[in-house]
């Protein structure tokens, strides 16, 4: 189980690193509303740190807020740095996998 989570985290780190070197298209697209993550203390900072490759600060409550963000928008984490929400959802799934029945 730990090995699989480690592989997922390294994959996500590589994906985020790749996306960080691409220019943002935020000026041409729909930006996400941040109300959901702003209402969870420390969540926006956790998202910002995750965009830089540090996933440690995501909490389960923050991940629930991240999962409410629309699929079709970009999350502006810093000026000039906008990312698709599915990146942050993937990190949350890797950190807090859904329960299997």
What pLDDT, on a 0 to 100 scale, did the predictor assign at position 26? 44
Phi, psi of 98 (to 5 degrees): -65, 150
Range of the domain at 83: 27-93
- Does some domain include residue 22? no
- Please give the Cα distance from 14 to 55 (Å, whole number): 13
Is 21 contained in some domain?
no
Q: What is the pLDDT of residue 99?
A: 73
Low-confidence ranges of the chain (pLDDT < 70): 1-4, 7-29, 100-101
Structural domain includes residue 7: no
Q: Is residue 83 part of a domain?
A: yes
- Domain assignment present for residue 47? The answer is yes
- Whether residue 34 is contained in a domain is answered as yes
Cα 18 off chain centre by: 14
Please indicate, yes or no, if residue 43 is contained in any of the structural domains.
yes
Q: pLDDT tens digit string along 80-96?
A: 899 999 999 999 999 98
Structural domain includes residue 54: yes
User: Could you give the number of structural domains in the chain?
Assistant: 1
In the block, tokens 């969870």 appear at 40
Query: By the 8 A CB rule, do 31 and 74 touch?
Result: yes
Under 8 Å between Cβ of 86 and 11:
no
Dihedrals φ, ψ of 77, to 5°? -95, -30
pTM listed for this prediction: 0.68
* Backbone φ, ψ for residue 32 (5° rounding): -70, 145
């Amino acid at each position: 189980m730990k090995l699989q989570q480690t592989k997922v985290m390294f994959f996500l780190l590589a994906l985020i690193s790749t996306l960080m070197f691409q220019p943002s298209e935020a000026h041409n697209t729909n930006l996400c509303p941040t109300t959901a993550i702003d209402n969870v203390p420390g969540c926006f900072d956790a998202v910002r740190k995750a965009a830089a490759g540090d996933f440690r600060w995501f909490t389960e409550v923050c991940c629930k807020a991240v999962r409410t963000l629309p699929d079709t928008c970009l999350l502006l984490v810093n000026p000039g740095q906008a990312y698709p929400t599915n990146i942050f959802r993937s990190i949350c799934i890797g950190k807090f996998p859904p329960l299997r029945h």
